[in-house]
Amino acid sequence: MTKPLKDCSVAVVGLGLMGASLCMDLKEGGLCREVRGVARRTRTVLDAFFAGAVDLATNDLQTGVLGADIVILATPVRTIISTLAEIGPRLWPGALVMDMGSTKGDICAAMAHLPAGVQPVGGHPMCGKETAGFEAAECGLYRNATWVLSPLPRTSPDALALATELAQAVGARPLVLAPDRHDRLVASISHLPFLLASALTAAVAEVGADDPTVWDVAAGGFRDTSRVAASDTQMFLDILMTNRAAVLAQVERFQAHLGALHDLLANNDEAALRTLLSASQQARAGWKPRRA
In a domain, 291, yes or no: no
> Are 197 and 169 part of one and the same domain?
no
> Are 230 and 126 part of one and the same domain?
no
Q: Do 17 and 135 contact (CB within 8 A), yes or no?
A: no
Q: How many domains does the chain have?
A: 2
Q: Do 238 and 186 contact (CB within 8 A), yes or no?
A: no
What digits encode the pLDDT tens for the residues 199-243? 999 999 999 999 999 999 999 899 999 999 998 898 999 999 999
Q: Read off the CATH number of the domain in which 44 is found.
A: 3.40.50.720
Q: What pLDDT score does 288 carry?
A: 77
Cα-based distances in Å from 275 to 259, 264, 284? 15, 11, 14
Alpha carbon distance 62, 277 (integer Å): 54
Cα-based distances in Å from 254 to 63, 94, 112, 271, 277? 46, 44, 34, 21, 14
Alpha carbon distance 233, 230 (integer Å): 8
In a domain, 15, yes or no: yes
> Are 186 and 246 part of one and the same domain?
yes
H-helix or E-strand spanning residue 64: helix 61-65
* Domain housing 77: 7-177
> Are 188 and 138 part of one and the same domain?
no
Q: Pick the closest to residue 154 from 120, 104, 122, 177 (CA basis).
A: 120
Q: What pLDDT score does 291 carry?
A: 55
E strand residue ranges, 79-200: 96-99, 119-125, 146-151, 173-176
> Are 12 and 65 part of one and the same domain?
yes
> Are 86 and 165 part of one and the same domain?
yes
What digits encode the pLDDT tens for the residues 116-134? 999 999 999 998 777 788 9
In a domain, 161, yes or no: yes
Mean pLDDT of the chain: 95
What digits encode the pLDDT tens for the residues 26-49? 999 999 999 999 999 999 999 999
> Are 142 and 202 part of one and the same domain?
no
